[in-house]
Amino acid sequence: MLFSENFKIAIRALRANKMRSLLTMLGIVIGVATVVALLSIGKGATASITSSIQSNGSNLLTVSPGKQQSGAAAAGGGSQQASYLYYSDYQLLQRSLEDNIAAIVPSYQSSYLVKYGDESFNVNVTGVTKDYQETNSYEVANGRFISDGDNKSESLVAVLGSQTAEDLFGGLNPVGKTISVKGVKFEVVGVLESKGSSGFGSSDDAVFIPLDAGYNKLFGSTAMYNDKRIVNSISVSVTTTEAMDTVSAQIEFLIRRAHKLTSSDELDFNVLSQSDLLSTLTTVTQTLTVFLGAIAGISLLVGGIGIMNIMLVSVTERTKEIGLRKAVGATKNQILTQFLIETVTLSLLGGIIGIVFGIGMAALVTLSGALTAVITYDSILLAFTFALAIGVFFGLYPAYRAANLHPMVALRYE
């Protein structure tokens, strides 16, 4: 029997039980759609993170705390290692690092309720110095950024991220207006250009203030530990790529000594380059994508089991038909091929519908503005191949069962 004839018989059998066929395909549709959507979103998140990190330049080292100490442990004094980065660490680096350094920038960040008029939002408020703008590649859309003079005089001024400006002021020009941060009044002196989402949040949802003003008039005790000011990170801009390893080693040596750590002690801070950070975040997003894809694969397996179940029912319902075909000369291989084609057709139709739904889900994520999903041919091919494999794997047993029915037994079946 020709393949085309088997295919026509398969389509006819599926159309005879449309609702059953549709419900049987549902598991495959959901599984394939989820695989396509998650892989597209994962690739989009990776691309967004890569673009965001690379926009800061390749010669940036970021020093951050390596671990956090719980309140109980801190009160008990059980650990002699520092749990935080201190402002004094920044001052040490500023004094000690001279060669190959373009800028050293400390920052401290905390979330506060920011108000203007009747509008109020919880926003990340970051205390910075003037070099923060250049180090992190921010462009000012309106007004200016924080200056050295603002820090020296502890001026209560603020620069808004583009989304924060939109949320608080709508279409109004924020420059010159006064906002309230935790009850402290700040004059808006600038608004930044949009940088978009990095996949783990947006730098546009932010307020930047002078670091010294933040310490003395806003952050309070939350920015203190052991009576010392703390920072969330210290960014070190290196002049050349070749000097990155040398400067990184110098930073590690200086802070290790400042924190009174011996050569055998575990570091309580991290020194990461942009490439290190990119590699780490890419690994995280890829791991999450694979994990979520595996969960989606369970839907495919459930769909495959559903297909096998329905095909076994179909074999039982068509026992007499199978016996009649064998009686007039149909071989085992022809019967097996017919039922296998029916199973694969059911699976592939579900796969095609699932791919369309998956592309639609990825498009909706892109339209939402959260991030740009990247739909690739390999994700579609992977989902389609899985659907085909599920159809073959779970269709073999019903097909073999049908092929091995004895003609006389099948003809007598009621």
Q: Where are the domains of the chain?
A: 3-52+280-412, 67-267
**pLDDT-derived band at 230, boundaries 50, 70, 90:** very high
Helix (H, G, I), strand (E, B) or coil at 83: coil
Sequence-ordered list of residues with C-beta below 8 angstroms from that of 10, at least 6 positions apart, any chain = 338, 341, 342, 345
Task: Please determine, for residue 318, whether its predicted confidence score (pLDDT) is greater than 80.
Answer: no
Cα–Cα distance, 38 to 365 (Å, whole number) = 10
Residue whose pair of structure tokens reads 């199978």 in the numeric block? 322
Determine contact, residues 248/9, Cβ cutoff 8 Å.
no
Give the C-alpha separation, 159 to 165, whole Å.
Answer: 9
For residue 317 the two structure tokens come to: 């319902």
- Residue 59's φ and ψ, nearest 5 degrees, are -105, 40
What is the token pair recorded at 167? 């949320």
20: pLDDT strictly greater than 90: no
Structural contact between residues 124 and 163, judged by C-beta atoms closer than 8 angstroms: no
Average pLDDT over residues 41-65: 75
Average pLDDT of the residues in 83-97: 91
Predicted pLDDT at 81: 43
* Exposure letters 187-222 (e unless 16+ CB within 10 A, then b): ebbbbbebbbbbbeebbbbbbbbbbbbbbebbbeee
Per-residue buried b or exposed e for 26-35, using 16+ beta carbons within 10 Å of the residue's own CB:
bbbbbbbbbb
Pairing between β-strand 184-192 and β-strand 157-160 as defined by DSSP bridges? parallel
Helix (H, G, I), strand (E, B) or coil at 129: coil
Residue with tokens 């017919």: 338
- CB proximity list for 225: less than 8 A, separation 6 or greater: 74, 83, 84, 86
Give the E-state strand segments of 193-254 in sequence order.
206-210, 224-225, 228-231, 233-238
Six-digit token pair at 408? Answer: 């006389």
CA distances (Å), 10 to each of 3, 323, 338, 353, in order? 10, 17, 7, 18
pTM: predicted TM-score of the whole model, two decimal places: 0.61
Whether the Cβ atoms of residue 271 and residue 248 lie closer than 8 Å to each other: yes
* Predicted confidence (pLDDT) at residue 275 exceeds the cutoff of 50: yes
Q: Which residues contact residue 324 at a Cβ distance below 8 angstroms, ignoring those fewer than 6 apart? A: 410, 411
Average pLDDT over residues 143-156: 94
Residue of 120, 95, 90, 93 whose CA lies nearest to 108: 90
Find the Cα–Cα–Cα–Cα dihedral 201, 207, 209, 213, rounded to 10°. Answer: -100
- What pLDDT digit, counting tens, does each position of 290-299 carry? 787 777 777 7
Please report the pLDDT score of residue 345 as a whole number. 82
Amino acid at 58: S
CB 100 within 8 A of CB 59: no
How far, in Å, are 261, 262, 412 from residue 256 at the CA level? 5, 7, 86
Q: In sequence order, which residues have a C-beta less than 8 Å from that of residue 176 and are 6 or more positions away? A: 187, 188
- Three-class secondary structure of residue 221 per DSSP: helix
Q: How far apart are CA 32 and CA 213, in angstroms?
A: 54
- Which position has the token pair 């920038």? 105
CA end-to-end distance (rounded Å), the chain: 27
pLDDT number for residue 219? 93
Tell me which of 332 and 157 has the higher pLDDT: 157
Q: What is the DSSP string of 332-346?
A: HHHHHHHHHHHHHHH
Asked whether residue 52 carries a pLDDT value surpassing 70, the answer given is no
Q: What percent of the chain has pLDDT over 90?
A: 31
Mean pLDDT score, 136-150: 92
